[in-house]
Amino acid sequence: MTISMYNASVPLFNQMLTSLSNILKKAEAHATEKKIDPQALLQARLFPDMFPLNHQVQIAADFAKGVTARLAGTEVPSYEDKEQSFAELQARIAKTLAFIGTFKAEQFKDSEQREIILRPGTPKEQKLQGQVYLLHYGMPQFFFHVTTAYAILRHNGVEIGKRDYMGNY
Amino acid sequence: MTISMYNASVPLFNQMLTSLSNILKKAEAHATEKKIDPQALLQARLFPDMFPLNHQVQIAADFAKGVTARLAGTEVPSYEDKEQSFAELQARIAKTLAFIGTFKAEQFKDSEQREIILRPGTPKEQKLQGQVYLLHYGMPQFFFHVTTAYAILRHNGVEIGKRDYMGNY
């Protein structure tokens, strides 16, 4: 009646980041076809104080990278948020997929019990047990940004559907 | 290095449906305060061929109910989609939380291996192993609808934030 911490994280990030990449390909093709400035999509937001599409993608990728590395007890690499084009976002996703692809299930041994410290040394420092960190913090955050990226594109008329979001499972 | 199928499902549904309930309370209070017709929010969509808020909430609740029941090997109760007010949506969420709250971890024994049949007897029938069903199908679907409900309300100016979405973890 159990599943491994690895199976509950890396393959799921892989599925959703791959689908996010495919969604962004469709968005870029849509912009090209309709002669829309790509920045009109990349900088689109659902509300003025929400993040635009490009940052939603960056954050989704960062949660995949951060959750994976923290559960495996390795250092979280820092990727600068400088992507300003669809091609650069694709490279960010590809780099993230390659990074999480280097991890092996064995590295997640006992990670459900490991103490994860968020924002260490800051006033907002928070300690979570690995299982809570993955299921109750990492997953909701990751899916939030993937879904919001999808929602921004749907709201802007890009013809994508739930099947694109779900990807291969 | 393992987590139980129960822990990877019911407590997470509980967290997110509770936060969805709180978000809807804030949305209702916002409508009252600004003298907005509640239907303007309940029927709001991000794009004409997407579902409105009330149906996003119904579907989110249905995934919580359906995934839980299928993994436990019990019948999935059918709830009619008739909610037309914030109070009715709150009742739908409460009924769903009460339903999933009746399950015990033991009922999920071996569920990661159980064959789950989606849309049985239809041309779209699909068989998934329990672990795949939960992680790669149920979770992405559930989070999609919770996040889209949040996105619709944010897009309509309801003052909620990431903390409301995350709930208690």
Question: What does A72-111 look like in DSSP terms, one character per residue?
Answer: HT-PPPP------SHHHHHHHHHHHHHHHTT--GGGGTTT
Q: How far is B91 from chain A (nearest CA, A)?
A: 23
Rounded mean pLDDT, A4-9: 96
Task: Give the angle subtended at the CA of A133 by the CAs of B134 and A90, to the nearest 5°.
Answer: 75
Report yes or no on A23 lying in a domain: yes
Q: Give pLDDT, residue B111.
A: 95
Conformational region of residue A73, where left means phi above 0, alpha means psi within -120 to 50, and beta covers everything else: left
Chain B residues with beta carbon closer than 8 angstroms to that of A134: 3
State yes or no: ipTM above 0.95: yes
Q: What is the pTM of this model?
A: 0.97
What is the C-alpha separation between A72 and B108, in angstroms, rounded?
A: 27
What is the C-alpha separation between A123 and B9, in angstroms, rounded?
A: 31
**Would you say residue B38 has pLDDT above 70?**
yes
Report yes or no on B72 lying in a domain: yes
Report yes or no on A119 lying in a domain: no
**Would you say residue A1 has pLDDT above 80?**
no
Going by pLDDT thresholds of 50, 70 and 90, the confidence category of residue B2 is confident
* Cβ within 8 Å, pair B109-A11: no
Report yes or no on A38 lying in a domain: yes
**Residue of chain B nearest A136, judged by CA positions:** B169
Residues contacting A163, CB < 8 A, separation 6+: none
* Cβ within 8 Å, pair A144-B132: no
Chain B residues with beta carbon closer than 8 angstroms to that of A52: none
Q: Give pLDDT, residue A2.
A: 83
User: Could you tell me the residue range of the domain that residue B68 belongs to?
Assistant: 10-107+136-166
Do the Cβ atoms of A141 and A63 come closer than 8 Å? yes
Conformational region of residue A114, where left means phi above 0, alpha means psi within -120 to 50, and beta covers everything else: beta
Report yes or no on B93 lying in a domain: yes
**Residue of chain A nearest B154, judged by CA positions:** A47
Mean pLDDT of chain A: 96
Q: Give pLDDT, residue A7.
A: 96
Report yes or no on A71 lying in a domain: yes
Report yes or no on B121 lying in a domain: no
A56-90 pLDDT per residue, tens: 999 999 999 999 999 999 999 999 999 999 999 99
CATH number for A69: 1.20.120.450
B40-77 pLDDT per residue, tens: 999 999 999 999 999 999 999 999 999 999 999 999 99
* Cβ within 8 Å, pair B7-A139: no
B84-128 pLDDT per residue, tens: 999 999 999 999 999 999 999 999 999 999 999 988 899 999 999
CA A68 from centroid of its chain's CA atoms:
11
* Total number of domains constituting chain B: 1
Nearest-by-Cβ selection for A169 from B111, B137, B147: B137
Report yes or no on A58 lying in a domain: yes
Do the Cβ atoms of A137 and B165 come closer than 8 Å? no
* Cβ within 8 Å, pair A136-B15: yes
Please report, rounded to a whole number, the percentage of residues in chain B having pLDDT higher than 90: 96
Nearest-by-Cβ selection for B12 from A109, A135, A154: A135
Residue type, B49: D
Nearest-by-Cβ selection for A151 from B111, B139, B148: B148
Nearest-by-Cβ selection for B2 from A4, A132, A155: A4
* Cβ within 8 Å, pair B151-A151: yes
* Cβ within 8 Å, pair A46-B46: yes
C-alpha count within 13 angstroms, C-beta hemisphere, residue A66: 19
* Cβ within 8 Å, pair A165-B155: no
Mean pLDDT of chain B: 96
A121-144 pLDDT per residue, tens: 999 999 999 999 999 999 999 999
Q: How far is B62 from chain A (nearest CA, A)?
A: 16
What is the C-alpha separation between B15 and B8, in angstroms, rounded?
A: 12
* Cβ within 8 Å, pair A166-B137: yes
Q: Give pLDDT, residue A17.
A: 98
